[in-house]
Amino acid sequence: MATDATAEAGKSAGLPQLDFTTWPNQIFWLLVTLVVIYLVLSKVALPRIGAVLAERKGTITNDLAAAEELRQKAVEAERAFNEALATARAEAAKIVAAAKADIQKDLDAATAKADAEIAAKAADSEGKIAEIRAGALEAVEAVAKDTARELVTALGGSADARAVTAAVSARLKG
């Protein structure tokens, strides 16, 4: 009996997968497992994965369409902005030109008024200068007569008013 037990222990000591007597049983369970995995994958997992992929594809397509639409709107908005900017610049240029024209008109009017005032003051000044010259000539003549009379008297002569006046007038004329 001891030898039978040792022989039995020797037979079962190897790997059971390599024991040809258990292969039909192993092949059966392998096929059952593969069929179960196939059924689970085909009926549960793959439809869910397919639905997720289809949803992602739809989302990506929708997002791309929305992005293209937004890009078109941005291009239109930029074009409208550029047109509005050009219109605003043209309007600003018109306003600046009108303001310059008004300022130039006011400046011309102020310049004309200032020129008229200056001309009036210059004419008034020339009149005053003429008066001052006339007064100065009379004063020079009077001073010259007085000086001549005093000199003649100082030198010991008699100062005749007519002779002094005639001498001073002759000298002043040239």
Number of compact structural domains in the chain: 1
Residue 136 located in a structural domain: no
Asked if residue 172 lies in contact with residue 141, where contact means CB atoms within 8 angstroms, the answer is: yes
Contacts of 112-116 with CB under 8 Å at 24 or more apart are none
Residue 41 located in a structural domain: yes
Exposure letters 75-96 (e unless 16+ CB within 10 A, then b): eeeeeeeeeeeeeeeeeeeeee
Exposure letters 53-66 (e unless 16+ CB within 10 A, then b): eeeeeeeeeeeeee
∠ CA 69-71-73, rounded to 5°: 70
pLDDT reported for residue 8: 58
* Residue range 77-97: mean pLDDT, rounded: 95
Encode pLDDT of 95-107 as tens digits: 999 999 999 999 9
More confident residue, 83 or 148: 83
Domain extent, residue 77, equals 15-129
Work out the pLDDT band at 1, boundaries 50, 70, 90. low
Work out the pLDDT band at 4, boundaries 50, 70, 90. low
Encode pLDDT of 90-143 as tens digits: 999 999 999 999 999 999 999 999 999 999 999 999 998 988 888 887 888 888
Residue 99 located in a structural domain: yes
Residue 8 located in a structural domain: no
Residue 69 located in a structural domain: yes
Chain center to CA of 64: 34
Residue 38 located in a structural domain: yes
